[in-house]
Structure 1
Amino acid sequence: MWSDGQQRRRQSFLSTGTFVAGLGGVTVAVVGLGALTGTAVRLVPLLIFLPSIVSGLGTVRQTVIASVWVVLVVAVSVSYLGGDLGANLVAAGFTAVFGVLSVIGCMYRVQRNQEINRLRSAAAALQRQILRPLPLRTGEVVVDGLYQPVEEDTMVGGDMYEVIASRRGTRVLIADVQGKGLSAIGTAFAVLGAFREAAYRETTLIEVVNALESAVVRHNVFAVHTGEPERFVTALVLDIGPEGKVEAVNCGHIAPYLIHDGRVGQVHLGEPAVPLGLAGLTAEPRCGAWFAFPPESTVLLCTDGVTEARDPGGSFYPLEERLRAWARVPSVRLAETLSTDLHDFTGAAPPDDIAVLTLRRSR
């Protein structure tokens, strides 16, 4: 949480020096121009809008000071210039009322900003509990990457990842829930919770995947009762041991890419199994595949927010071609490089959630 001083700084775009300089500068400019041109009677009342400008940028205290200052300047100016007493009183009174309204408006803005800051703090804390910030380190691997939900205000989307150091090695999950919205996030929660429990408990990787399947099926049953759509989840689950071999179970997800000694290739895991939640539609059981993970190599995992991104002409993002060009880029910079290039390629914000993980062996 932020301290009181930090909260005040976040509520104001105006530093004290900027506020004083702006208030004095505008006043001198308006009064001086009016005196030089002989139109002070018409120009000085324009200062009435100064508190409203401060109320949109500054603090309540700054708005009060600006309102009192403008009332004094207008009152002194119209008194000095003479004129009808009634008209002068109306001008000063209207300036004071407008200043009070500006203060009230500033108080409302600051209160709303405080509420938004509290909600964002709660959302950030929730995100840290749901998706742990990268990088993550275990005895076998260091995992870095990026996570960009398409709806930034939610901070969490339908893509997910997790890294668990179990008794049998490091187990890694990257998954993508069908669709978007809060119901997709609910499915992601169910899968993450099941993986965190099963990765510690189950002996084999297939048993971990079976636990994820059961979690999605149960969640879909609950979704039907609450009027939400059923969803499936594409997932890739890895089991990384200390001996340099990786077991993978691919449930309809994008196969990993291996970058080693300047060469890049997509790992062949065989025909992918059906996504999580759809096992009841096929008699084919899921099975694991093994691939080598040599020292000094990098394994890249991603969701279809990367591979299905398009440029303005409709062409898909050439991920493997880009990885070949970046084969010598350090793994700690690979995800950042990909993110920048992907944004340049699409020319706009991505239309789907993006999750990218880079895995390298711990030394």
Structure 2
Amino acid sequence: MIRFRGRVRSLGLPGAVLFAVGTGVILHVRRTLVRELRQLRRVAGAAQDAVLRPLPSRVGGLGVAAAQLSAERGAAIGGDLYEVVATEHGVRAVMGDVRGHGIGAFGTVAAVLGCFREAAYDEDDLGGVLRRLERALERHLRREHPASVAEEFVTLLLVEIRADGEMVALNCGHPWPYRMGAGGVEQLAPADPYPPLGVFPLPDVLSTVDLGHLPPGDALFLYTDGAQDARDARGRFFPLSVVLARVAREGPLAPQEVLRGVQSALVDHSQGTPADDIALLVLRNDGFMPPGVRGPARTATTHPQPTTHL
């Protein structure tokens, strides 16, 4: 029975049967779609863990913590990347940001990370690692996006932390990191970066830049530009340096605590979902570097990188 314009009209037996069947079909389809959506999210999460695998809490004498916030609500996959490995040359880390976000950028993330995990061990210097990444990106884009290869790019920051705490880096269009310690919070910006990887060919000569020293107890904070560009409801940018200074004042620079403080502030500032993917990485010098992780005997090349206007 249904009420229509103040009068009760009978559906009749055939109508009632059709109504019941139709309702059952709709509910079945809805349950099926919900199950498939959950399965897709599980698959996406598994793919994310396989490619952007969770980092251990310690790598080569450094305390480590990392996290990612996706710009797509409910998504497990984003366009940011990071990795930290202990090699005979020192601990090497990469932080990168693929143009775009979500599933469309995930193939490029996989290509870059897969190459880094091999090159970081094989190459004697960061310049060799970066050239390997450039070739891997070019191959991937020509295979997967031949029509728009010129429009795709990745910002990258490569950092090498040696056994004595000395740090060198190569930067391709990426935000410079912050050093956090007893003396306060300082953004390290020793030179203008190269263009993002994929925009122009790398120059013939690549010169690493000196990031200074990371004393025991101090931390290096790496991030993608989604963090500093996050806006609140009034359009104000996220005050990253202010938040880092507050976190540093509130307690010891335990990587997970630093990460938790920044991540919580970001979620509050952007009201839950940022406009762009965000990746955060904290590396703290715990004061002990295993014998297998040694700094190279050579002196780092610290010539400034050229200024390039895009």
Which category of TM-score, normalised to the shorter sequence, fits these structures? 0.7 to 0.9
* Residue number in structure 1 paired with 2:282: 358
* Residue pair 2:176, 2:188 contacting (<8 A) in 1 also: yes
How far apart are the structure 2 equivalents of 1:228 and 1:280?
Answer: 13
* Residue number in structure 1 paired with 2:168: 247
2:180 to 259, 263, 282: 259
Q: What do residues 184-225 of structure 1 show as CA deviations (whole Å, max 9, x unaligned)?
A: 333222211111111121121221111112222333333553
* Residue number in structure 2 paired with 1:345: 269
Q: Which has the higher contact order (CA 8 A, sep 6+)?
A: 2
Q: What SS does structure 2 have at the residue aligned with 1:272?
A: coil
* Residue pair 1:176, 1:235 contacting (<8 A) in 2 also: yes
Structure 1: runs of 5 or more not aligned: 1-44, 47-86
* 1:265 Cα offset (Å): 0.5
* Residue number in structure 1 paired with 2:142: 221
* Residue number in structure 2 paired with 1:334: 258
Q: What do residues 153-173 of structure 1 show as CA deviations (whole Å, max 9, x unaligned)?
A: 542222111122223332111
The reply on whether 1:311 has 2:232 as its aligned counterpart is: yes
* Residue pair 1:199, 1:208 contacting (<8 A) in 2 also: yes
* 1:262 Cα offset (Å): 5.3
How far apart are the structure 1 equivalents of 2:126 and 2:202?
Answer: 21
* Residue number in structure 1 paired with 2:19: 98
* 1:252 Cα offset (Å): 1.8
* Residue number in structure 2 paired with 1:73: none
* Residue number in structure 2 paired with 1:51: none
Residues 284/228 of structure 1: CA separation in 2 closer, same or farther (3 Å cut): closer
2:52 to 117, 121, 131: 131
* Residue number in structure 1 paired with 2:117: 196
The reply on whether 1:145 has 2:66 as its aligned counterpart is: yes
How far apart are the structure 2 equivalents of 1:200 and 1:343?
Answer: 36
Structure 2: runs of 5 or more not aligned: 3-8, 289-310
User: Going by fraction, where is strand more abundant, 1 or 2?
Assistant: 2
* 1:296 Cα offset (Å): 1.2
* Residue pair 1:273, 1:286 contacting (<8 A) in 2 also: no
* 1:307 Cα offset (Å): 1.0
The reply on whether 1:177 has 2:98 as its aligned counterpart is: yes
* Residue pair 2:41, 2:76 contacting (<8 A) in 1 also: no
Q: Which has the larger radius of gyration?
A: 1
How high is the sequence identity, in percent, across the aligned residues?
36
* Residue number in structure 1 paired with 2:298: none
Letter in 2 for 1:360: R
Runs of 4+ displaced beyond 6 Å: none
* Residue number in structure 2 paired with 1:79: none
Normalising by the residue count of structure 1, what TM-score does the alignment of the two structures yield? Answer: 0.68
* 1:254 Cα offset (Å): 1.0
Superposed CA RMSD in Å reads 2.8
Letter in 1 for 2:129: V
Normalising by the residue count of structure 2, what TM-score does the alignment of the two structures yield? Answer: 0.79
* 1:324 Cα offset (Å): 1.4
Letter in 1 for 2:47: L
* Residue pair 2:81, 2:113 contacting (<8 A) in 1 also: yes
Letter in 2 for 1:306: A
Letter in 2 for 1:109: R
Letter in 2 for 1:102: T
The aligned length equals 279
* Residue pair 1:158, 1:178 contacting (<8 A) in 2 also: yes
Residues 229/170 of structure 1: CA separation in 2 closer, same or farther (3 Å cut): same
* Residue number in structure 1 paired with 2:216: 295
* 1:289 Cα offset (Å): 2.1
User: Going by fraction, where is helix more abundant, 1 or 2?
Assistant: 1
